[in-house]
């Protein structure tokens, strides 16, 4: 550190703690100094006084621990905000409790407003069967009802919603989508993957102001749990316009890295125009495609049929030539590609496509990479493909995973973090919020235990795939920053980098794993500003 720099005091100094930097050149420190939006110094408590001037804010950590700000590599910002204003059905344990919530909201809603909710999961109900429109009709009070499944890959609607969309026995399944039907061929009210759009398109798009409000709700949720940057896995034109306005007004409290949604007209224009940067808070340099569905609604594309649905191998939303056209255009525009692939067939298709294109050094990603065929596991590292994975999906899906795909495929390829790391694959950690809670500490917990919050199954589900704390933290810091081309200014606590950090009451590297379930940050700091402080 040059003496000239030391003449000027810092704006904020944290002292008296354990600072875990994730930077190999200086793994730990006791104090840290911030000036403007950057880290200017890390070192011993005794030296921190050099940085403290008249107007310096000093936080005595009293033994608390500091970590780099956690990065969510895959979440849906606007949907997360929406989940805070629509009916929350996450964790509902039977059909009846869902209907009660819908009845209450429908009774309180005006005119012909849509009643919206999300988060139901028939796997959590005793019936384990998909519900129907008829179930909702009795409680909807004349409103159209749209309830998104927990995974975002299916919707449950009532008859009024189906009428507005003109759905009947004559409606054909769209490409990459499916309407569940009764024996007479009438739609039952469950729409899978691309069929969701048949009804969703009848609801009016969010205004810019609504997106801004929902982004603020999502950001507060994220900050309160230790997230300083969210990588948005599928942004619309409206999202990006709203965020640009927030950046201009200095109103965006978390950093956003945007993957533009494809297929869309906006995405096509972006393929011609290339990446855009709007300062340190907003980057638009990636593209998101969804190749298959999800495991919970049996839409994930499989090499062999589902064990509990023989004859079904899932759904593909893209034809190979269409996907290749987009990938080629993205490569020549310098745009990163992130493709959602859950089933082993979808993962192989993406790896094959990336191999054909040649993606070394491009940091192209596969989002989820949940079920891999063993022969495809080494290909991530060989082809230089980032696996963007969500540890909490593993611990949410584990009760029914083997019922869907069988023991053998599960053991060989489900959420194989350890195997991927053994080949030196970069894994970027995320939550897929609002599919899962955005809490990254829960992500760390799942990654190091593979147990649920009750500690089940003891020793972990497929424990051979457990990772170390250091590796888990890398997924949500260093490697998440790398996956967004931000390793030069984010991901570690290093002098010269942006001052994004969290203060935790205990050391995540040494605490009881169980303590992670309830542990929340004391402070979340983004660009040197305290954006969240626990009460």
Q: What residues make contact with Zn ion under the rule CB under 5 A? A: 233, 432
**Cβ proximity of 309 and 178 under 8 Å:** no
- Looking at beta carbons only, is 231 or 410 nearer to Zn ion? 231
Minimum distance of Zn ion from residue 430's CB (angstroms): 8
- Looking at beta carbons only, is 233 or 493 nearer to Zn ion? 233
**Cβ proximity of 211 and 238 under 8 Å:** yes
Minimum distance of Zn ion from residue 121's CB (angstroms): 16
User: What separation, in Å, do the N-terminal and C-terminal C-alpha atoms of the chain show?
Assistant: 36
Closest CA to 130 of 105, 147, 143: 147
- Looking at beta carbons only, is 233 or 387 nearer to Zn ion? 233
**Cβ proximity of 479 and 428 under 8 Å:** yes
Helix 344-357, helix 320-333: angle, nearest 10: 50
Distance of CA 228 to the CA centre of its chain: 13
Q: Element (H or E) spanning 96, and its range?
A: helix 95-108
Minimum distance of Zn ion from residue 76's CB (angstroms): 6
- Looking at beta carbons only, is 233 or 301 nearer to Zn ion? 233
Minimum distance of Zn ion from residue 218's CB (angstroms): 14
Report the 10 Å Cβ neighbour count for 25: 7
Question: What secondary structure does DSSP assign to 55-88, as a single string?
Answer: T-EEEE-TT-EEEEPEEEEEE-HHHHHHHTTSEE
Give the whole-angstrom CA distance, residue 112 versus residue 430: 37
Give the whole-angstrom CA distance, residue 71 versus residue 430: 7
Distance of CA 524 to the CA centre of its chain: 19
- Looking at beta carbons only, is 90 or 164 nearer to Zn ion? 90
Minimum distance of Zn ion from residue 233's CB (angstroms): 4
Minimum distance of Zn ion from residue 283's CB (angstroms): 18
Minimum distance of Zn ion from residue 435's CB (angstroms): 6
Minimum distance of Zn ion from residue 376's CB (angstroms): 21
Give the whole-angstrom CA distance, residue 475 versus residue 365: 14
State the DSSP code for 414: B
Minimum distance of Zn ion from residue 74's CB (angstroms): 6
- Looking at beta carbons only, is 233 or 498 nearer to Zn ion? 233
Minimum distance of Zn ion from residue 433's CB (angstroms): 9
Minimum distance of Zn ion from residue 152's CB (angstroms): 7
Give the whole-angstrom CA distance, residue 175 versus residue 319: 10
Question: In Å, what is the CA distance from 67 to each residue of 52, 82, 483?
Answer: 21, 29, 19
Give the whole-angstrom CA distance, residue 28 versus residue 22: 8
- Looking at beta carbons only, is 74 or 313 nearer to Zn ion? 74
- Looking at beta carbons only, is 302 or 341 nearer to Zn ion? 341
Closest CA to 301 of 320, 287, 288, 286: 320
Closest CA to 419 of 429, 431, 411: 411
- Looking at beta carbons only, is 26 or 90 nearer to Zn ion? 90
- Looking at beta carbons only, is 292 or 432 nearer to Zn ion? 432
- Looking at beta carbons only, is 233 or 402 nearer to Zn ion? 233
Closest CA to 30 of 493, 386, 485: 493
């Amino acid at each position: 550190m040059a003496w000239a720099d030391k003449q000027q005091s810092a704006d904020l100094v944290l002292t008296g703690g354990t600072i875990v930097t994730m930077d190999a050149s200086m793994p730990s420190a006791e104090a840290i100094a911030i000036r403007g939006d950057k880290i200017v110094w890390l070192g011993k408590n005794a030296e921190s006084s050099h940085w403290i001037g008249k107007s310096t804010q000093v936080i005595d950590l009293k033994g608390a621990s500091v970590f780099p700000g956690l990065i969510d590599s895959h979440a849906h910002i606007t949907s997360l905000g929406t989940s805070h204003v629509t009916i929350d059905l996450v964790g509902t344990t039977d059909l009846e409790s869902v209907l009660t919530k819908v009845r209450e909201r429908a009774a309180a809603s005006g005119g012909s407003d849509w009643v919206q909710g999300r988060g139901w999961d028939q796997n959590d109900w005793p019936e384990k069967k998909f519900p129907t429109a008829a179930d909702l009709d009795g409680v909807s009070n004349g409103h159209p009802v749209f309830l998104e499944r927990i995974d975002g890959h299916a919707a449950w609607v009532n008859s009024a919603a189906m009428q507005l969309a003109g759905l009947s026995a004559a409606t054909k399944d769209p490409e990459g989508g499916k309407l569940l039907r009764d024996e007479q061929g009438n739609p039952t009210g469950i729409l899978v993957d691309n069929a969701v759009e048949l009804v969703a398109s009848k609801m009016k798009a969010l205004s810019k102001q609504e997106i801004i409000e929902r982004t603020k709700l999502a950001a507060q949720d994220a900050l309160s749990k230790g997230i300083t940057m969210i990588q948005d896995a599928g942004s619309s034109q409206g999202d990006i316009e709203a965020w640009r306005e927030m950046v201009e007004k200095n109103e965006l409290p978390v950093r956003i890295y945007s993957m533009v949604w494809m297929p869309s007209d906006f995405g096509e224009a972006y393929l011609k125009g290339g990446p855009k940067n709007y300062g340190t808070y907003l980057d638009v340099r990636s593209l998101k495609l969804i190749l298959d569905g999800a495991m919970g609604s049996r839409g994930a594309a499989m090499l062999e049929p589902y064990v509990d649905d023989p004859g079904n191998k899932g759904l593909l939303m893209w034809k190979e030539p269409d996907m290749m056209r987009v990938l080629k255009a993205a490569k020549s525009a310098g745009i990163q590609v992130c493709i959602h692939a859950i089933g082993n067939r979808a993962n192989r298709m993406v790896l094959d496509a990336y191999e054909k294109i040649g993606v070394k050094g491009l940091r192209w990603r596969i989002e989820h990479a949940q079920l891999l065929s063993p022969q495809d596991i080494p290909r991530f590292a060989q082809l230089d493909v980032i696996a963007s994975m969500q540890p909490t999906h593993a611990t949410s899906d584990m009760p029914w995973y083997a019922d869907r795909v069988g023991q053998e495929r599960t053991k060989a390829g489900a959420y194989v973090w350890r195997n991927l790391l053994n080949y030196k694959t970069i894994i970027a950690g995320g939550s897929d919020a609002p599919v899962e809670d955005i809490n990254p500490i829960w992500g760390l917990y799942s990654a190091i235990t593979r147990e649920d919050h009750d500690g089940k199954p003891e020793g972990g589900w497929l424990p051979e795939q457990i990772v170390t704390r250091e590796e888990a933290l890398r997924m949500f810091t260093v490697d998440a920053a790398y996956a967004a081309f931000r390793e030069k200014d984010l991901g570690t606590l290093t002098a010269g980098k942006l001052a994004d950090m969290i203060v935790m009451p205990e050391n995540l590297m040494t605490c009881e794993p169980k303590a992670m379930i309830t542990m929340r940050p004391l402070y979340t700091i983004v660009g040197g500003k305290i954006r969240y402080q626990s009460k």
